[in-house]
């Protein structure tokens, strides 16, 4: 059976790229006439290397039309491209798909004429990576199936493409076919689940990796810690921290930054501070992690102290640093200090405020009960508000029983998130709290008209590294019978205790 793919260069359309800075290079001048390619010398010709280096410079900067022009000049000068030249061009196409989507297939056509797409593992792998980034996994798989030689990078590249596209079953099936899986192969799966929000699957994959005897590297640990952060499985996080200490990763800055973030998101602020304080070297990310982590856990004073210490240590705060410090001011009710920080951010450090920064100012005013000023920020900022910002102000309206402002906010909310249930429920509760049952009924009718259903709240608890989720009235948990039996017993015990307490109080009254 022939190993030649089902497509040929003549079937791949030759497109043209346009560049505002120069005359668009004609892609049919890519040297599509036959050329003789060989690895015989086993080393790169000096002129080929210099041309390839020049092409790589343009590819790295996203100037693909200039890279094409340079490739054309290379061909016209009589210098033959080699596999590194093609890998460079294909990688550039993959990283900058706006131009690469049209250039890539033409480069593929050239490779096909030379037989590189199925005879050279580096070119074949680059093609797989490029097409997978374009979302054309069918072509990626075709190149993979026809490659004469594959290495681990080839397998991992296609698995990563499937994971990126959410084709989990295809990725796992391909992974199971691998005869030699290393830490990178496992990390591709774990990170793929993580990026798609499949945190429990990521942890299950890590447990399988442990059982298989493959030792994780620091990239694996970072991915797993991120999954732990999102699930709040502190027990597993502590185990991973112990693993880090035992395997000489304690001085890895990226691992420590992720540990700080994990502990803060699990609510263990003191452990996060211990990690930070023990770091031999720190980056701006390290400082930002501890500042933001402390701020969101309502340790405002400590967060602001670290913000000052960071600058004393020679670091210039960025947008994330200011998000953390502004959040701290919001939690501590430091309105004037927060406004001063916002001014410093824009005037001193010339940082353009994002929606997150404006959200912090809205929250700052909302918590202080200055609702009209918060609304003015929303009305005057240069971008549309997000759900978090509106929810923050709506919650403040509920605390202050400000129905008029809440109604004004709902105009934004209807446009932004017409299907979101939480804000409708909050507005209904605001009406109910002020005795406006007609208003509450109106909100419920609007929810019904829009097809908005109230989502049930979920409670979760971690036991032995496993997160157990519970929904009100739900009995689908595997241990539901035992759980409800314990609840009935606790209810009985509380009832008995209440009767005993009442009898005791009656005795005291009689004694008085």
Residues written for the chain: 512
Is residue 409 domain-resident? no
CATH of the domain at 276: 1.25.40.10
Is residue 71 domain-resident? yes
Helix ranges, 318-370 (H): 319-332, 335-343, 355-367
Q: Apex CA 210: angle with CA 204 and CA 253, to 5°?
A: 90
The pLDDT of 186-213, averaged and rounded, is 94
pLDDT over 60 at 101, yes or no? yes
User: Using N-to-C axis directions, what is the helix angle for 152-164 and 168-177, rounded to 10°?
Assistant: 160
Decide which of 423 and 240 is more confident: 240
The pLDDT of 178-206, averaged and rounded, is 94
Which among 87, 115, 149 is the end of a domain?
149
Same domain, 125 and 2: yes
Is residue 357 domain-resident? no
Instruction: Give the pTM.
Output: 0.76
Same domain, 141 and 156: no
Strand ranges (DSSP E) for 321-465? 458-463
Q: How confident is the model at residue 487 (pLDDT cuts 50, 70, 90)?
A: confident
Is residue 469 domain-resident? no
The pLDDT of 157-163, averaged and rounded, is 96
pLDDT over 80 at 156, yes or no? yes
pLDDT over 80 at 473, yes or no? no
**What are residue 443's DSSP bridge partners?**
none
The pLDDT of 235-262, averaged and rounded, is 93
Same domain, 122 and 167: no
Which distant-in-sequence residues (6+ apart) come within 8 Å of 461 by Cβ? Answer: 467, 468, 470
Distance separating alpha carbons of residues 237 and 241, to the nearest angstrom: 6
* pLDDT value of position 7: 34
Decide which of 462 and 406 is more confident: 406
Contact 327, 297 (CB under 8 A): no
Same domain, 1 and 92: yes
Contact 31, 37 (CB under 8 A): no
Which among 131, 149, 167 is the end of a domain?
149
Q: How confident is the model at residue 505 (pLDDT cuts 50, 70, 90)?
A: low
pLDDT over 50 at 26, yes or no? no
Strands 458-463 and 466-471: antiparallel
Q: How confident is the model at residue 506 (pLDDT cuts 50, 70, 90)?
A: low
Contact 349, 317 (CB under 8 A): yes
pLDDT over 90 at 98, yes or no? no
**What are residue 466's DSSP bridge partners?**
463
Same domain, 127 and 252: no
Q: Give the position of tokens 């295809």.
A: 170
3-state helix, strand, coil in the chain (%, to 5): 70, 5, 30
pLDDT over 90 at 211, yes or no? yes
pLDDT over 90 at 488, yes or no? no
pLDDT over 80 at 135, yes or no? yes
**What are residue 87's DSSP bridge partners?**
none
pLDDT tens digit sequence for 272-329: 999 999 999 999 999 999 999 999 999 999 999 999 999 999 999 999 999 999 999 9
Is residue 351 domain-resident? no
Same domain, 138 and 161: no
pLDDT over 60 at 160, yes or no? yes
Same domain, 139 and 12: yes
Short-list 353, 364, 275, CA closest to 320: 353
* pLDDT value of position 18: 31
pLDDT tens digit sequence for 64-86: 999 999 999 998 988 989 999 99
Is residue 123 domain-resident? yes
* pLDDT value of position 99: 87
Short-list 16, 45, 28, 12, CA closest to 127: 12
What percent of the chain shows pLDDT beyond 90? 60
Phi, then psi, of 149 in degrees rounded to 5: -125, 135
Same domain, 274 and 155: yes
Which among 236, 255, 280 is the end of a domain?
280
Q: How confident is the model at residue 4 (pLDDT cuts 50, 70, 90)?
A: very low
* pLDDT value of position 357: 96
pLDDT, the chain, mean: 84
* pLDDT value of position 503: 57
CA distances from 212 to 60, 102, 217 (A): 38, 42, 14
Range of the domain at 14: 1-36+44-149
Same domain, 117 and 165: no
Phi, then psi, of 197 in degrees rounded to 5: 75, 15
Is residue 74 domain-resident? yes
- Mapped to the 3 state alphabet, what secondary structure does 196-211 carry? CCCHHHHHHHHHHHHH
Q: Is the dihedral of CA 397, 403, 407, 413 positive or negative?
A: positive
Same domain, 64 and 159: no
Distance separating alpha carbons of residues 58 and 96, to the nearest angstrom: 11
pLDDT over 60 at 242, yes or no? yes
Residue 213's Cβ-count burial label (10 Å; 0-12, 13-18, 19+) is exposed
pLDDT tens digit sequence for 121-133: 999 999 999 999 9
Same domain, 201 and 155: yes
Say which DSSP state 19 is in.
B
The pLDDT of 179-206, averaged and rounded, is 94
Q: How confident is the model at residue 37 (pLDDT cuts 50, 70, 90)?
A: very low
Q: How many domains does the chain have?
A: 3
Token pair for 31 = 């040297």
* pLDDT value of position 120: 95
Look at 286-295, 315-324, 338-347, 458-467 and tell me which has the smallest mean pLDDT.
458-467
Strand ranges (DSSP E) for 86-155? none
* pLDDT value of position 35: 40
Is residue 449 domain-resident? no
Same domain, 142 and 213: no
Decide which of 398 and 149 is more confident: 149
């Amino acid at each position: 059976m022939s190993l030649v793919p089902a497509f040929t260069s003549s079937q791949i359309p030759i497109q043209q790229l346009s560049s505002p800075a120069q005359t668009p290079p004609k892609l049919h001048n890519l040297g599509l006439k036959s050329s003789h390619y060989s690895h015989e010398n086993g080393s790169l010709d000096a002129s080929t290397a210099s041309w390839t280096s020049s092409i790589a410079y343009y590819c790295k900067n996203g100037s693909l039309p200039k890279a094409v022009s340079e490739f054309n000049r290379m061909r016209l000068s009589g210098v033959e491209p080699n596999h590194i030249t093609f890998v460079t061009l294909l990688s550039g196409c993959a990283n900058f798909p706006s131009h690469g989507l049209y250039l890539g297939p033409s480069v593929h056509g050239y490779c096909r004429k030379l037989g590189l797409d199925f005879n050279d593992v580096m070119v074949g792998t680059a093609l797989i990576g490029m097409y997978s980034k374009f979302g054309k996994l069918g072509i990626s798989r075709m190149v993979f199936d026809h490659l004469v030689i594959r290495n681990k990078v080839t397998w991992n590249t296609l698995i990563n493409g499937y994971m990126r596209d959410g084709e989990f079953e295809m990725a796992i099936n391909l992974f199971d076919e691998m005869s030699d899986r290393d830490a990178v192969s496992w990390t591709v799966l774990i990170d793929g689940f993580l990026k798609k929000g499949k945190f429990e699957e990521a942890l299950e994959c890590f447990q399988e990796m442990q059982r298989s005897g493959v030792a994780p590297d620091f990239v694996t640990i970072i991915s797993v810690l991120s999954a732990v952060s999102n699930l709040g499985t502190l027990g597993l996080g502590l185990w991973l921290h112990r693993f880090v200490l035992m395997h000489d990763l304690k001085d890895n800055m990226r691992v420590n930054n992720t540990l700080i973030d994990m502990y803060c998101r699990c609510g263990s602020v003191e452990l996060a501070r211990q990690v930070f304080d023990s770091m031999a070297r720190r980056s701006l990310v390290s400082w930002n992690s501890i500042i933001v982590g402390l701020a969101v856990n309502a340790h405002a004073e400590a967060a602001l102290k670290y913000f000052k210490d960071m600058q004393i240590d020679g670091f210039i705060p960025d947008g994330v640093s200011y998000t953390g410090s502004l959040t701290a001011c919001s939690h501590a009710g430091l309105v004037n200090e927060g406004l001063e920080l916002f001014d410093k951010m824009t005037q001193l450090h010339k940082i353009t405020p994002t929606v997150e920064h404006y959200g912090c100012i809205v929250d700052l005013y909302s918590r202080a009960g200055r609702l009209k000023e918060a609304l003015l920020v929303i009305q005057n900022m240069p971008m549309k508000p997000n759900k978090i910002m509106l929810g923050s102000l709506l919650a403040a309206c509920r605390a202050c029983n400000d129905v008029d402002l809440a109604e004004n906010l709902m105009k934004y909310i209807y446009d932004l998130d017409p299907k979101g249930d939480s804000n409708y429920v909050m507005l209904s509760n605001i009406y109910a709290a002020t005795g406006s049952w007609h208003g509450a009924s109106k909100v419920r009718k609007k929810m019904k008209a829009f097809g908005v259903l109230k989502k049930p709240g979920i409670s979760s608890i971690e036991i032995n590294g496993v997160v157990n989720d519970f929904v009100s009235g739900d009995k689908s948990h595997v241990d539901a019978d035992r759980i409800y039996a314990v609840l009935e017993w606790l209810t009985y015990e509380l009832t008995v205790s209440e009767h005993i307490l009442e009898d005791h109080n009656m005795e005291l009254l009689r004694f008085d």
